[in-house]
Structure 1
Amino acid sequence: MRHLPTLLITTLLGWSGHLTTHASAIKVADVAAFNAAVPNLHPGDTLVLAAGSWRDAQLVFKGTGTEQQPIVLRAERPGATRLMGLSSLRLVGSYLVVSGLDFREGYAPNGGVIEFRDDKKGLANHCRVTECVIDNYNRPIGGSDDKWVHFYGQYNRFDHNYVAGKKTVGVTMVVELPTPESRENHHRIDHNFFGPRPRLGSNAGETIRIGLSETSLTSSRTVVEENYFYHCNGEVEIVSVKSGENVVRRNVFEECEGSVVLRHGNNNLIEGNYFLGNGKTQTGGVRIINAGHKILNNYFADLRGTEFRGALVIMHGVPNSPLNRYSPVHDVAVENNTFVNCSNIELGAGKDAERTQAPANVTLTNNVFYGPQMPQPFHVFEDMSGLKFTHNLLQASGSGPNIAGLEAATFTVQKSADGLLVPVAKGAPKTDIRRPVTAAEAGPRWFRPAAASADTRTGRVLPVATPADLLKAFQTAKANDIIELTQPGIYPVPQTIGVTVPLTLRAKAGVASRPVLLGSNAGQSVFTIENGGKLRLAGVAFDGKGVGAAGLIQSGTQPALEHYSLWANNCAFYGLTDGTGHVFQATTATFADTVQFANCLFYNLAGSALSLATETKDKGTYNAEYVILRNCLFRNVQGSALELYRGGNDESTLGPFLTVDHCTFDNVGGAKSPALMLTGVQWTDIRNSLFNKSGVASAAIKYQELGKSKNRLSNTNFSQSGKVVASYPPRTEKLTYVTTAFAAPQKFDYRLKTPTPQLPVATDGRPVGFVKQ
């Protein structure tokens, strides 16, 4: 339920300030009039921004109101005043209230969109921003680090706002504690709708951060309550607590790929929150570092996050830790929490050469762990004698850890009024639970975000029969159109085709052979996938003999805000004679949700086939979240089949994720090029594949780990190939080293010439390796 201070009820309901007989309402229509009016505002006055578009309006709202008579800045009508272009708002003074503004179609040029300060000395105290919108208000260059909302001063409030769509590097909202005037601040962040934030692929993708490591031993006393977080997926930390004595309570986190993380600072309270994963991958709960915290009465359901994104994660720490690392966990209480169908509870996570100190004096009391389909929800690392369990109940399909105080139980399941499952132990009274806030209750009353839906639209089919028609089709195509090549033969491409919207290029069903796109400009690739573009390829071939170092397909040449994707099915790529050119190359400052090749042929390439290895600043950034190779053949590739790079040991992101399934690597790799070159990749699953005469002078697979990673290698044969090289050997199963020969490799028939019973059977029951379609 919303709680509004009495002095603002009239303002919010009637949009007229509660004014004394001496107060005035002043309407202004432009920045000059605003600047002229602000110095003359008195307690109780209302400054009204005229409806319409205010472009490049860098507003400084300065004044001194009182608790009974604040100075109000509001839109003429809620949402009717739109701040665009290079617009921003700064509050300076005390008892100021801002309401009804809408920030879109622009970005703040000199810092935050909304800041509770003017400069280092001009702070805001007892000020409020309510019923406003900041939606996709992004800098045009994806690599810029900016923060949308900056808290300074004390006793400020940000409530009933909608904030979504941040795509640049930088925290969405930050509470700063640089000086004593901004510490022990008692800020309140409540009843906001924090909407989707896409994966960033690097650090600094938090939705809220409270403090910094440098000031983490000071108290902030910020309250974050009754907010609704939806698809906040920027990085592993949704709310990053880096200070002391904060309260995060009664919030709802729905399908968010991350956690509330007690990263630095002590004595924080996490209470009454609802973490609802709905079975979505990488959805998390609470991660605990440092001392003195209380994790009470929270509800965790259907979370699928692993490792640092587990439903509950209690970390190992660094002895005598510096402020910016991992202080040991001690004196923490985890009580009366309910976990329903959560896949991972991590106790003592993160132990490595640096984090060697186990948790101490951590009590887990009266918690319920219900997961009848979860075989092993608990992952226990090393000595957990510092954890004390008292009357915790567990129901899982497998046996739990042998810990006193974690008792096997059988629950009945009831459903709450709003549809949540409530496990009730035999003889226990019914528990009444419900979401503390819903999407409909959070955010401005005048604004509702559009319902999210999968883009299943199919556009026009644009038939192309001649090379001259190909460029015309791409120039006239609109989002989701399908460009269909109706005839076999060669289609020269004299200039790069930029893809800026979702498009499909395919061969018409029944075409006798794959139509061939011939790159005919040595300095240009065939395709670039630009900001927000998505390209699907099906049934076509690419001849690269004319493109040189530019290669066949690249992501955009400029830094991008929007993610892109590339899918190719039943395609062939060949003929690259320049060793520096690639079939696909990801460029810096661009990020792909997915790069997937299925049922594809790669052959006769002078360099590496696929290169996603340009983010080399070693700060945890990488080029694509998911890279998938299924049933592909790589033959006579002088470089690597795949170069995939993630540098540094930053733990804010968990990708990239690589899947290699049913692939054959025949004569792949050179003296310095492994068949697969995987640097810092965080998760790999290589299975059901064949390596033949590949990586001989280097390695068949080279895992160059820069920190902890999760690698699995199974059901794969290595014939006359190089070794698997790894600092931390992957989990392996059913690997063989049997010499093989193929039926007719020049015709792409890679069935075994002589069936070899020693080879493993694939995990799906088929023969391992590539199967011609």
Structure 2
Amino acid sequence: MRPVGELSYFRLGVLAAAGLAALVVVATPAGARTREASSPAELSAALSQAQPGDRVEVGAGVYDSAQIHVRRSGTAQAPITIVAKGPVEFTGAGGLDLTGASHVVVQGFVFDNDAGLTVPGDATATRITRNVFQGNPGGADLTVKADDTQVDHNTFQNRTAQGVYLQVVGPGASDMAKRVHVDHNYFYNHQYKGANGGESIRFGLSGRQHAVANGLIEDNLFDKADGDSEALSVKSSDNVVRDNTIVNSRGTLSLRHGWNTLVEGNILIGGSTGIRFFGNNHVVINNIVEDTTGPAMEIGGGEVRDDTTSGTDHEAADHCLVAFNTLSGSDNIVWYESSKKFPPSDDTLADNVLLGHGTAVGTGTGTSLHFTGNILFGAAAGSLPAGAYRTVDPKLARDAHGLLRPGATSPVIGAATGSFPQVTQDIDGQNRPAAKDVGADQYNVATPARPLTTADVGPKAP
């Protein structure tokens, strides 16, 4: 996890720690108590009397009768913590109602119930941590509508019904919850077999696409995210998606709607496709996409050029930067989608390493497209224009974690042709010098970045 201050995209520097500090216990007021409950009635009674800083410990059992209302709020310095002390499972009609309860921590439960869990819009600064969601509810396992919510170290698993694991929306019909932080979660085995409606994360909706969310989605692991063509679907504006790992999955990392999102430092291995985006002003840098059967990077065309209705149409990707990525695949490595009315426009493909056995760049149409400094090996150039690349063996070798890294004699070293002030670090969080290396990795014998594993995420991770 990178420190928040290391965001390399200056417009999203507002995601500083102040926006998330409400979720950190910095003091416990005098008189704070630990309350115990071993039945729904006792839990309801304890929550009705809880004060800021109190800890409500819930004994082992199955809670299946009704939603239990969390009636009290904590403070930024002293949240109310509700924690499972043994195996505590919500099933059937059981669950927690957080309406009106801000600054609350929900920790250690199993949600195998009919309704999942909702963080309503007035439940600000709530933290949902170290729980397991596996209930197959009709909608989402977890719905977030409140500002300053943190969702961390949870497992979402084994969904077969239509619906998403985690959806982030907001109050009203078009707003987004702001400064939501989603980190160190494990999204596993989403096996809904329909054509749509099975994302692991849906961050926004079509009608909310122009709402500024300032969300941060980082350090999550997606494995067997097969419920939808989009494993992680962003449908809002001004977000950061970084340092996530997607493996063995049909679903893409998709910016389906919205503008101004940074996609940085993500690792995608062995999927059907990689990163796909629509809309304006996105920055896609320092990612590794390996061994996809479809395009490793798709730059979207649209039924509309610039959306004004917050509709469901695809919006052409305009004014976007795709730079310093390492991309490999067996199909078109980079695909400029050209079957729709409006092709992508004014997009830059720069200083990427492109590896494969098919075609480096596929496109039918596009306007004012920019190319520079790319290194191509093993694939035909396709629509990549002369002068925008050189064909040379980049001399990459797999490290101990299976990632392709440049060696000491690699021609990628110092070969970047663009300065691109958005790119100050590499995928490892190492600072890049003025003479940057091509691709996601700035050569260094130290290689800290690696694909996330189950030891890094979920309830038992550090």
Which of the numbers 186, 190, 199 marks the counterpart of 1:193? 186
Contact 1:370 1:423 in 2 (8 A): no
* Alpha-carbon distance in structure 2 between the residues aligned to 1:8 and 1:173: 19
- In the other structure, the counterpart of 2:97 is 90
Larger radius of gyration: 1
* Alpha-carbon distance in structure 1 between the residues aligned to 2:381 and 2:141: 47
TM-superposed CA distance for 1:397, in Å, is 4.5
1:100 alignment partner AA:
G
TM-superposed CA distance for 1:36, in Å, is 2.0
- In the other structure, the counterpart of 1:33 is 42
Cα deviation, 1:383-419, whole Å, max 9, x if unaligned, reads: 2343201101110144543413122122212222422
Percent identity at matched positions? Answer: 29
Q: Which moved more, 1:434-443 or 1:223-232?
A: 434-443
Contact 1:8 1:18 in 2 (8 A): no
- In the other structure, the counterpart of 1:367 is 352
Cα deviation, 1:126-175, whole Å, max 9, x if unaligned, reads: 1101111112x125xxxxx4111111120000100000111111222111
1:138 matches 2:136:
yes
Contact 2:296 2:332 in 1 (8 A): yes
1:368 alignment partner AA:
V
- Secondary structure of the residue that 2:193 maps to in structure 1? coil
Cα deviation, 1:677-726, whole Å, max 9, x if unaligned, reads: xxxxxxxxxxxxxxxxxxxxxxxxxxxxxxxxxxxxxxxxxxxxxxxxxx
Q: In structure 2, do the counterparts of structure 1 residues 181 and 362 end up closer, same or farther at CA, with 3 Å as the change threshold?
A: closer
Contact 2:48 2:70 in 1 (8 A): no
- In the other structure, the counterpart of 1:440 is 455
1:147 alignment partner AA:
A
* Alpha-carbon distance in structure 2 between the residues aligned to 1:180 and 1:203: 22
Q: In structure 2, do the counterparts of structure 1 residues 183 and 375 end up closer, same or farther at CA, with 3 Å as the change threshold?
A: closer
- Secondary structure of the residue that 2:56 maps to in structure 1? strand
* Alpha-carbon distance in structure 2 between the residues aligned to 1:126 and 1:187: 9
Cα deviation, 1:270-324, whole Å, max 9, x if unaligned, reads: 11100011xx5x2x2111111111101111111113xxxx211112212455521
Contact 1:315 1:329 in 2 (8 A): yes
* Alpha-carbon distance in structure 2 between the residues aligned to 1:443 and 1:42: 29
Instruction: Give TM-score, length-normalised by structure 2.
Output: 0.82
1:291-370 matches, within 5 Å, as 291-305=280-294, 310-319=295-304, 321=307, 322=309, 323-349=311-337, 351=339, 355-370=340-355
- Secondary structure of the residue that 1:334 maps to in structure 2? strand
* Alpha-carbon distance in structure 2 between the residues aligned to 1:311 and 1:402: 15
Q: In structure 2, do the counterparts of structure 1 residues 76 and 2 end up closer, same or farther at CA, with 3 Å as the change threshold?
A: farther
- Secondary structure of the residue that 2:228 maps to in structure 1? coil
- In the other structure, the counterpart of 1:115 is 118
* Alpha-carbon distance in structure 2 between the residues aligned to 1:444 and 1:151: 19
Q: In structure 2, do the counterparts of structure 1 residues 6 and 213 end up closer, same or farther at CA, with 3 Å as the change threshold?
A: closer
TM-superposed CA distance for 1:231, in Å, is 0.6
1:591-740 matches, within 5 Å, as none
1:513-592 matches, within 5 Å, as none
Contact 1:302 1:343 in 2 (8 A): no
1:63 matches 2:84:
no
1:222 matches 2:215:
yes
TM-superposed CA distance for 1:46, in Å, is 1.0
- In the other structure, the counterpart of 1:567 is none
Per residue, is there more strand in 1 or in 2?
1
* Alpha-carbon distance in structure 1 between the residues aligned to 2:296 and 2:83: 41
- In the other structure, the counterpart of 1:554 is none
Q: In structure 2, do the counterparts of structure 1 residues 2 and 94 end up closer, same or farther at CA, with 3 Å as the change threshold?
A: farther
- Secondary structure of the residue that 1:434 maps to in structure 2? coil
Cα deviation, 1:253-275, whole Å, max 9, x if unaligned, reads: 01110211111111111111000
Q: In structure 2, do the counterparts of structure 1 residues 34 and 419 end up closer, same or farther at CA, with 3 Å as the change threshold?
A: same
1:73 matches 2:82:
yes
Cα deviation, 1:740-763, whole Å, max 9, x if unaligned, reads: xxxxxxxxxxxxxxxxxxxxxxxx
* Alpha-carbon distance in structure 2 between the residues aligned to 1:209 and 1:243: 10
Q: What number of residue pairs does the alignment pair up?
A: 410
- In the other structure, the counterpart of 2:63 is 54
* Alpha-carbon distance in structure 2 between the residues aligned to 1:181 and 1:350: 30
2:57 alignment partner AA:
V
* Alpha-carbon distance in structure 2 between the residues aligned to 1:330 and 1:185: 25
1:154-193 matches, within 5 Å, as 154-179=147-172, 183=176, 185-193=178-186
- In the other structure, the counterpart of 1:266 is 259
TM-superposed CA distance for 1:98, in Å, is 1.0
1:430 alignment partner AA:
Y
Q: In structure 2, do the counterparts of structure 1 residues 165 and 18 end up closer, same or farther at CA, with 3 Å as the change threshold?
A: farther
Which segments of 5 or more consecutive residues in structure 2 lack a partner in the other structure? 4-16, 414-441
* Alpha-carbon distance in structure 2 between the residues aligned to 1:59 and 1:297: 45
TM-superposed CA distance for 1:57, in Å, is 4.2
- In the other structure, the counterpart of 2:199 is 206
RMSD over aligned Cα atoms: 2.7
Higher relative contact order (CA 8 A, sep 6+): 2
Cα deviation, 1:81-121, whole Å, max 9, x if unaligned, reads: 122233222323221111111223xx32xxx411102xxxx
- Secondary structure of the residue that 2:41 maps to in structure 1? helix
TM-superposed CA distance for 1:22, in Å, is 0.5
- Secondary structure of the residue that 2:321 maps to in structure 1? strand
2:376 alignment partner AA:
L
1:244 matches 2:237:
yes
* Alpha-carbon distance in structure 2 between the residues aligned to 1:8 and 1:125: 10
1:410 matches 2:411:
no
1:420 matches 2:403:
yes
Contact 1:147 1:172 in 2 (8 A): yes
